[in-house]
Amino acid sequence: MASDEVKVIGAWASPFVMRPRIALNLKSVPYEFLQESFGAKSELLLKSNPVHKKIPVLLHADKPVCESNIIVEYVDETWSASGPSMLPSTPYDRAIARFWAAYIDEKWFPSLKSILKAEGEEEKKAVLAQVEEGNALLEKAFNDCSKGKPFFNGDHIGYLDIAFGCFLAWLRVTELAGGHKLIDEVKTPSLSKWAERFCNDPAVKPVMPETATLAEFAKKIFAKPPA
């Protein structure tokens, strides 16, 4: 009889890995964190996620669940009685949350990543403009979704908070490197306050890396000569 053991295969610096960890913390579910070494993939990872060979992977009673946002929904549904719902209650609000989570992964984060890789002033400017446009959209989305409450999901951190909030440490690293504020009290006042609330939440604090530590790590991985 398989135990109900929960494990997360991941890496401390990965924003995607943060997602299931925050979700499990929100539901007070204890889990074992299996840290992958940078640059090498473990047997367990390759066996649990043969299709993509990527982290995070959640193992629940040895059954793997892959893809960070899918894992968050799985955690919410499986431990539904153990904490507030991570998705809104109406189908429409849920569709909105999923829409923005997809936007963040498909459009917003790739443009954030490009800031660190951009070469030359022209390219940097263009990419920055993209991210700022995205931030403006997300500021509005926050105001629409939160309806005056502290989080995208209302009173409690939810799916969309996690989907976006997991990138905050990397966002701060990018701001430091570029000398350019992306989320601040002037341009994105609601998001700025939300970011602070999110990062200080007890479910998030233990898994969100310190900006300085992450910045050191970023220097190391981006210092590698192009392949």
Partner 1 sequence: MGDTEEVKLLGVWFSPYAIRPKIALRIKSVDYDYFEEDLFGSKSELLLKSNPVHKKVPVLIHNNKPILESLNIVEYIDETWNASGPSILPSHPHDRAQARFWSAFVDDKWFPALKAAAITKSEEAKEKGMKEVEGGLLQLEEAFVSISKGKPFFGGEAIGFMDICLGSFVGILKAREKLKGEKLLDESKIPFLCKWANEFLSDDTVKNVVPEIDKVVEFLGELEVRAQSAVSKT
- Selected binder of partner 1 within 91, 179, 202, 226 (CB under 8 A): 91
**Does 199 contact partner 1 by CB under 8 A?**
no
User: In sequence order, which ranges of the chain are alpha helices (DSSP H)?
Assistant: 15-26, 43-48, 68-78, 91-103, 109-117, 120-146, 159-165, 168-178, 189-200, 211-222
Counting contacts by CB under 8 A, is residue 3 touching partner 1?
Answer: no
Judged by CB under 8 A, the stretch of 29-37, 90-98, 181-189, 219-227 that binds partner 1 is 90-98
Give me the residues paired with residue 64 across strands.
59
Smallest distance, partner 1 to C-beta of residue 210, A: 32
Q: Rule CB under 8 A: which of 95-114 touch partner 1?
A: 95, 98-99, 102-103
Question: Residue 50 or residue 125: which is nearer to partner 1 going by CB?
Answer: 50
Contact segment (CB under 8 A) with partner 1 among 30-38, 63-71, 189-197, 202-210 equals 63-71
Check binding of 34 to partner 1 (CB under 8 A).
Answer: no
Per rule CB under 8 A, is residue 139 in the interface with partner 1? Answer: no
Q: Near partner 1 by CB under 8 A, which window of 17-25, 87-95, 166-174, 192-200?
A: 87-95
Interaction of residue 24 with partner 1, rule CB under 8 A: no
Q: Does the footprint of partner 1 cover residue 78 (CB under 8 A)?
A: yes
Q: Output 60 or 172, the one with its CB closest to partner 1.
A: 60
β-pairing, 32-35 with 6-10?
Answer: parallel
21-24 long-range Cβ contacts below 8 angstroms, 24+ apart? 21/56, 21/207, 22/157, 22/162, 22/165, 22/166, 22/203, 22/204, 22/207, 23/71, 23/72, 23/75, 23/76, 23/86, 23/162, 24/75
Q: Residue 100 or 172: which CB sits closer to partner 1?
A: 100
97: Cβ–Cβ under 8 A, 6 or more apart, which residues? 87, 88, 145, 152, 153, 158, 159, 160
Is residue 51 involved in binding partner 1 (CB under 8 A)? Answer: yes
